[in-house]
Amino acid sequence: MDATQDNSIWQNFVDGDIAALNILMEKYFRFLFNYGTKICKNEELVKDTVQELFIKLWNRKAHLSREVNIKAYLITSLRRSLYRKIQSLEKFERFTDYDNELLPFDLEISVEQKFINNEFNKLLALKLAKHTQLLPKRQKEVLYLKFMQNLSREEIAQVMDISLQTVSNICQMALKNLRDQLQKNNHSKNYFYSITPLLPILMEFFINQ
């Protein structure tokens, strides 16, 4: 489904077409659930929140904009809803806002042989998996949204409720941290720069969607 079809489905949804709601749920439910479980390990809570999100949007359809980036809009809405729920849970009551660095973002890193087509890529994926897992929460989330979901800088800023410059700074810091870690393993700067264009592909090797 291309962007034009997506926009058409969304506009039908806003107009009250129940079939459009079903199409949106079929396309985005699993995606939103997988994203949500990177924030919260309680799968039932995530599932309920995704379901509630679609119900809420359906109930408010008459007040929704007809022109939205659907993926970015849904991620933003789910992220906010989940963090509000997390805050309300007793064990998370010490957190005061949903951007707190202590809140998790779990990439569920794994390297599966079927995705690795040669030993070099396998070794590289293992190293990137190890180092990415140790990145701060917001750096992991930016990399995930950028490389795995192909969101633009503007869309990432919308999802995370941060400025465009902050998105750029976080992304640059994440790549610097990965580069520094590879250098500690006796790889040169040129080595990192040579693999940087491969990051979107390599990340698919070890980020479990």
pLDDT above 90 for 24: yes
Residue 133 predicted with pLDDT over 90: no
Task: Delimit the domains of the chain by residue range.
Answer: 3-92, 113-206
Residue 175 above 80 pLDDT?
Answer: yes
CATH of 113-206, one of 1.10.1040.10, 1.20.1250.20, 1.10.10.10, 3.30.1050.10: 1.10.10.10
- Of 47-56, 132-141, 142-151, which has the strongest mean pLDDT? 47-56
CA-to-CA separations, 86 to 34, 103, 133, in angstroms, rounded:
17, 9, 22
Which pLDDT value is given to residue 127?
73
Q: Domain 3-92 falls in which CATH fold?
A: Rna Polymerase Sigma Factor; Chain: A (1.10.1740)
Per-residue model confidence (pLDDT) at position 187: 55
> Which residue, among 201, 59, 74, has the nearest Cα to 128 in the 3D structure?
201
Confidence band for 125, pLDDT divided at 50, 70 and 90: low
Question: pLDDT tens across 48-106, in order?
Answer: 999 999 999 999 999 999 999 999 999 999 999 998 888 877 554 554 444 444 455 66
Crossing angle for the helix pair 199-206 and 119-133, nearest 10 degrees? 80
Distance (Å, whole) CA 128 – CA 130: 5
Average of pLDDT values for 20-42? Answer: 93
Average pLDDT over every residue of 24-33: 95
